[in-house]
Amino acid sequence: MPDGLSLDGHQLECSISATGSDTFVLRLAGRSVPLAATRIDSGWRITLRGRAFDIETMDERAILIGRLAKRTGGSSGRAGMLRAPMPGLVSRLMTSPGRKVTEGDGLVVLEAMKMQNELRAPVSGHTAEVHVSAGDAVDRGDLLVTLGPPGSGSAAG
């Protein structure tokens, strides 16, 4: 039965049929290709024409969470505030009060749906205040880190 496959933003008709316990035939855009596939932690290892490719598989919800986490600044109301883009568990802090940060620096690692999401600084400046600790459970919109303007280096609230 044909299904769709999105590849670099293009929809292609494809299907896959098992020919053995770990061997398959992939039919893609009218061509048939034999391949081997074995399960790995993040998805599948596909061996095709002697080359191995690790393929990460995600459902639509995991893709959405990943997109939210990649947005710099989460769902902040102000540029200097990093808020949780989704509910999760603070797995690691990568900053501390007074630390100089550049826009895009990792500040907090938030675990949601078994995925580690690195939340990044929305602006350059310094860490004025860290509102969470490793191990804290947070809800969407919770304030995680407040950033102050560059150069002041003091913990202004």
Q: What predicted TM-score, i.e. pTM, was given to this entire model?
A: 0.51
Per-residue confidence at 2, pLDDT binned at 50, 70, 90? very low
**What pLDDT sits at residue 70?**
54
92 and 16: one domain? Answer: no
Please tell me the distance from the alpha carbon of residue 33 to that of residue 93, in angstroms, as a whole number: 45
Q: How far is CA 51 from the centre of its chain?
A: 26
Domain assignment present for residue 153? The answer is no
Q: Which of 56, 72, 99 is at the close of a domain?
A: 56
93 and 120: one domain? Answer: yes
135 and 69: one domain? Answer: yes
49 and 76: one domain? Answer: no
Higher pLDDT, 154 or 1: 154
Are the beta carbons of 117 and 66 closer than 8 angstroms? yes
Domain assignment present for residue 92? The answer is yes
Candidates 149, 147, 144, 155; CA nearest to 74 is 144
**Residues 98-151: pLDDT tens digits?**
999 998 899 999 988 778 888 988 888 999 999 999 999 999 889 999 998 876
**Residues 54-74: pLDDT tens digits?**
887 766 766 666 666 555 444
Domain assignment present for residue 45? The answer is yes
Number of domains composing the chain: 2
Residue the block writes with tokens 């990460």: 56
- Across 20-25, average pLDDT: 89
- Across 88-107, average pLDDT: 92
CATH code where residue 115 lies? 2.40.50.100
**Which of 6-10, 26-30, 78-82 has maximum average pLDDT?**
26-30
Domain assignment present for residue 155? The answer is no
Domain that holds residue 40: 3-56
Domain assignment present for residue 157? The answer is no
19 and 74: one domain? Answer: no
Q: What is the mean pLDDT of the chain?
A: 81
Per-residue confidence at 157, pLDDT binned at 50, 70, 90? very low
